[in-house]
Amino acid sequence: MRRSFKFLLRPTARQAGSLAACLEDHRQLYNAALEHRRTAYRMAGVSVRYGDQSAELTYIRAADAGGQGRWSFCSQQATLRRLDKAFAAFFRRVKTGQRAGFPRFKGRGWFDTVTWPRDGDGCRWDSQPQHSSAVFVRLQGVGHVRVHRHRPVHGVVKTISAKREGRRWFVVLSCDEVPADPLPATGAAAGIDLGVASLATTSDGEHLANPRHLAASAERLARAQRDLARKKRGSQRRRKAVAKVAALHARVRRQRLDGAHKAALGLVRAYDVIVHEDLRIANMTRSASGTVEEPGRNVAQKRGLNRSILDAGWGVFLTILAHKAESAGRELIVVNPAGTSRTCSHCGHCAKANRVTQAAFACTACGHTAHADVNAAVNILRAGLALRQAAEAA
Ligand SMILES: [Zn+2]
């Protein structure tokens, strides 16, 4: 199986400068290639393809030896391929009649990753293995950069990326053939309900909370963004505000990842089978003003950036959960969440009135009361087990 590993880089001041230059040159390459495609199409109706642009790289590098020529040919190709993907997605959206945003120019701060698609080609993981006390990654044009490798790497390193988050740099390794690491069976199954107050609630009544500081950081980020919106373009103050927003974004991301890892690990250790709702369907029925079933509740609390920050956490959490479940040999079942929040898990009575508040569930038919999220999680578990049984019978 494929897995990625992310480590903090500890570049020297000179290396940090080179990393920034590398990123900036790749950004400009991306923008130039986008401009090239746009004008060719506008002036001559010609579609420029990845192959054409990749062929031109040779000339660009030769003409700018001290600039673009410094970096790895492969990482530049990867950047052109990234643009190609953006165009492919654009045309796909046009074709299916969705709202199609044309690929955009990347401003400073909107281009934060350079990828080397093959270990050993313009980059090398663990480039100084003879060094006993530290681990290094060699990046063409930057040098051997020290890595804070806080856990071992498994599998075969395929691609290497350098990523900027706020003022810090990370290396991301994508590895193939990472051996699975099965956990002993527990004989237990659980449904989980994704929420805002807690990240997820299990059918056993456990609330998996978001990390303690996440809400505070999200709040601070929202404030910093409002602050940024008031600053004049091009001013020193604005530049400072941008840096602050970027740093807070990175912090929120780290805290969320951390919480998601812990929550997912706990679930995978405790249960053989885990059922969760299909997020694509769930997102369609959840609106900013509560749920479609209960519009208007907790509007202020849920609306806006704060809410969107917490929302984004579900996707990250489920992705991590899927990886951990696969690695541990656990079964993950995805169900349609329709009706799970207003159906009584005791008698099956389904009514809007069952949901007393955001947190309280009280069945109007049988009188069963429960935490609303636990009730939903039990329904999700039941739906998942039914699906599984149907699949086994078929
Ligand atoms: Zn009931």
The CATH number of whichever domain residue 270 belongs to comes to 3.30.420
* Residue 101 DSSP SS3: coil
184, part of any domain? no
Distance 258 CA to ligand 1 centre (A): 37
- pLDDT value of position 115: 97
Using the predicted structure, report yes or no on whether residue 297 has a pLDDT greater than 60. no
Structural domain count, the chain: 2
Distance 192 CA to ligand 1 centre (A): 20
Tens digits of per-residue pLDDT, 190-224? 999 988 778 899 999 999 987 777 778 888 988 99
Q: What is the chain's mean pLDDT, rounded?
A: 88
Instruction: Say whether both 198 and 157 belong to one domain.
Output: no
Name the residues annotated as catalytic. Answer: 193, 277, 373
Instruction: Say whether both 217 and 166 belong to one domain.
Output: no
Distance 361 CA to ligand 1 centre (A): 10
Instruction: Say whether both 101 and 52 belong to one domain.
Output: yes
Using the predicted structure, report yes or no on whether residue 300 has a pLDDT greater than 70. no
Q: Which residues contact 368 (CB under 8 A, 6 or more apart)?
A: 344, 345, 346, 347, 361, 362
245, part of any domain? yes
Domain termination residue (choose one: 176, 211, 239): 176
Instruction: Say whether both 199 and 227 belong to one domain.
Output: yes
- pLDDT value of position 311: 58
Q: Which residues contact 290 (CB under 8 A, 6 or more apart)?
A: 296, 297, 298, 299, 302, 358
Instruction: Say whether both 161 and 301 belong to one domain.
Output: no
Distance 214 CA to ligand 1 centre (A): 35
Domain termination residue (choose one: 176, 202, 222): 176
Question: What does 150-195 look like in DSSP terms, one character per residue?
Answer: -S---SEEEEEEEEEETTEEEEEEEEESPPP-PPPP---EEEEEE-
- pLDDT value of position 299: 43
183, part of any domain? no
- Determine the average pLDDT of the residues in 236-244: 92
Distance 349 CA to ligand 1 centre (A): 5
Instruction: Say whether both 260 and 163 belong to one domain.
Output: no
- pLDDT value of position 250: 85
297, part of any domain? yes
182, part of any domain? no
Q: What is the end-to-end Cα distance of the chain in Å, rounded? A: 28
Instruction: Say whether both 144 and 240 belong to one domain.
Output: no
Residue 192, φ and ψ in degrees, nearest 5: -125, 140
- pLDDT value of position 50: 95
Tell which wins on pLDDT, 85 or 101: 85
Distance 276 CA to ligand 1 centre (A): 22
Instruction: Say whether both 172 and 214 belong to one domain.
Output: no
- pLDDT value of position 45: 81
Q: How confident is the model at residue 130 (pLDDT cuts 50, 70, 90)?
A: confident
Distance 208 CA to ligand 1 centre (A): 26
Q: Give the structural domain span for 55.
A: 3-176
Q: Using CA atoms, how far apart are residues 28 and 255, in angstroms rounded to an integer?
A: 31
Tens digits of per-residue pLDDT, 17-66? 999 999 999 999 999 999 999 999 888 888 899 999 999 999 999 999 99
Report in angstroms the alpha-carbon separations of 65 from 28, 57, 61, 77: 15, 12, 6, 17
Distance 219 CA to ligand 1 centre (A): 38
Q: How confident is the model at residue 290 (pLDDT cuts 50, 70, 90)?
A: very low
Neighbours of 94 (CB within 10 A): 12
- pLDDT value of position 112: 94
> Using an 8 Å Cβ cutoff, are 115 and 161 in contact?
yes
Tens digits of per-residue pLDDT, 351-371? 999 988 888 999 999 999 999
Distance 66 CA to ligand 1 centre (A): 73
Instruction: Say whether both 364 and 218 belong to one domain.
Output: yes
Distance 372 CA to ligand 1 centre (A): 13
- pLDDT value of position 183: 87
- pLDDT value of position 307: 55
**CA dihedral of residues 85, 88, 89, 93 (deg, nearest 10):** 170
18, part of any domain? yes
Tens digits of per-residue pLDDT, 143-170? 999 999 998 898 999 999 999 988 899 9
Tell which wins on pLDDT, 304 or 259: 259
Q: How confident is the model at residue 180 (pLDDT cuts 50, 70, 90)?
A: confident
Using the predicted structure, report yes or no on whether residue 74 has a pLDDT greater than 60. yes
Using the predicted structure, report yes or no on whether residue 296 has a pLDDT greater than 50. no
Using the predicted structure, report yes or no on whether residue 291 has a pLDDT greater than 50. no
**CA dihedral of residues 262, 265, 271, 276 (deg, nearest 10):** 70
Instruction: Say whether both 238 and 165 belong to one domain.
Output: no
343, part of any domain? yes
181, part of any domain? no
- Determine the average pLDDT of the residues in 85-111: 87
- Determine the average pLDDT of the residues in 5-17: 96
Domain termination residue (choose one: 153, 176, 199): 176
Q: How confident is the model at residue 308 (pLDDT cuts 50, 70, 90)?
A: low
Distance 369 CA to ligand 1 centre (A): 8
Instruction: Say whether both 105 and 224 belong to one domain.
Output: no
Instruction: Say whether both 223 and 285 belong to one domain.
Output: yes
Share of the chain above pLDDT 70, in %: 92
Q: Choose the weakest-confidence range: 1-15, 260-274, 285-299, 324-338.
A: 285-299
- pLDDT value of position 312: 61
Residues whose Cβ atom is located within 5 A of ion ligand 1: 344, 346-347, 349, 363, 365-366, 368
Tokens of 219: 């709040």
Distance 17 CA to ligand 1 centre (A): 64
- pLDDT value of position 310: 55
Q: How confident is the model at residue 92 (pLDDT cuts 50, 70, 90)?
A: confident
